[in-house]
Structure 1
Amino acid sequence: MERFLDMHMYVTSALQKTDMKAVGLQLALDLLHEKEKRDLITGLKTRTNAGRPNWNKIFQIIADQKKGKVTVFYCGPPALARLLKIKCDEFGFTFRKGIF
């Protein structure tokens, strides 16, 4: 059965994999994820990414898969909601946000 939900988890305050100060930590997290098939931070199968996401790259990969209608669900700061709404419009995705 194909997945109908794809989660992308980011710790935006963490250093990215390309930052030399974080290389050791990122390598250790990658090795643990490979061995345990779970993310050390969340316990989910999806690996948590460090740093800020490249929305154009992520959305392009999803669009290239041509798996049908894509809906982006978001809950968080309004500034990022505005950016994601613009990106969703560019790629033809539906945007939904939750407010608590």
Structure 2
Amino acid sequence: MYTYTCIFVYTHVYVYMCILMYKHMYTYTCAYSCINTCIRIHVHICIHPHVYVYMCIFVYTQCIRIHAHICIQHMYTYTCAYSCINTCIRIHVHIHV
């Protein structure tokens, strides 16, 4: 029995079939110096012909910020409605006996 991991790196716009499964509000704890760039790390599971786990690092260049003048450990709320360029790492674990 052995296990190996395949890592696929996407650097283009990739549309997920399961993107409609989490169209709701997210809350972030941002501690950055008033820059219109927010990095969100989100892990979700897409059901395709196989089950894959995607760990996507979304880089927003135009964040919708609430209370933008307060930038030290303040809670911001963003709307998960996007079609942005992202870098996704697809981790597919194969288990063979």
Shared fold by TM > 0.5? Answer: no
- Which structure's residues are more often strand, by fraction? 2
Q: Rg larger in 1 or in 2?
A: 2
Give the alignment's TM-score, normalised by structure 2: 0.21
- Which structure's residues are more often helix, by fraction? 1
